[in-house]
Amino acid sequence: MARGQQQKRKKSFLGSVIELVVTVAIAVALALLIQAFIVKPYRIPSPSMVPTLAIGQRVLANRLDTHPKIGDVVVFHPPHGADPASPVCGSSSEGSGHTQACDLPTQAESGQTFIKRVVAVGGDRISIVNGHVFLNGVQEQAPYAQPCNTPGFCDFPQTITIPPGHYFMMGDNRDESDDSRFWGPVPQKWIIGVAFFTYWPPDRIGTL
């Protein structure tokens, strides 16, 4: 084989390798950019969203959507008050016992990532009876919610008002959810995104 042909083949092979490396690098960079700024996967760590989401189920969150509406399933950072074993409410009326849900978060943000459903937004008035939210005097229509049988989780009959720019979050499994009832509403700036699709396990693939 002529020397010129050998050099051409080497150059062609080297060019193919370089093209492959560049293609893979671009694909990885795009995937990282998408995950960082557009769509991010999350694994469900607890039973708080049963029956909608089971432990170990995986969802995708739209990071461009940080202004959810009532009924949306949302990924967010809770207040720091969610971190202690006994949650801390940022409201001075915390000493009122279980007559009202927590109406103010602590000022600090937690590093944890939670996923819950929005049940009220800023300006709404809510109370909770038998695990069901009464939103501005009207009981929520929540076929996704599990019955609530634990007194300390089910009844907060005194009405509270959600501060402007905040979201009140509750798990669908009202008996097994550590949520805004105990550590308060979530400021908009702590919203990561709205969960819109579940991709694992295969038998539960679909939209939310």
Reading phi first (left if > 0) and then psi (alpha if -120 to 50, else beta), residue 8 is in alpha
Does the annotation count 177 as an active-site position?
no
User: One of 91, 110, 116, 180 is an active-site residue; which one?
Assistant: 116
Helix (H, G, I), strand (E, B) or coil at 138: strand
Confirm if 192 and 53 have CB atoms less than 8 A apart: no
Q: How far out from the chain centre does Cα 159 lie? A: 25
User: One of 40, 48, 177, 180 is an active-site residue; which one?
Assistant: 48
CA dist., res. 184 & res. 106, Å (int) = 8
Q: Which residues contact 117 (CB under 8 A, 6 or more apart)?
A: 49, 52, 71, 72, 73, 74, 144, 169, 170, 171, 172
CA dist., res. 61 & res. 73, Å (int) = 9
Does the annotation count 116 as an active-site position?
yes
The pairing of strands 191-200 and 73-76 is antiparallel
State the DSSP string of 44-91.
--SGGGTTTS-TT-EEEEETT--S--TT-EEEEPPBGGGSSSS---SS
**Residues identified as active-site:** 48, 116
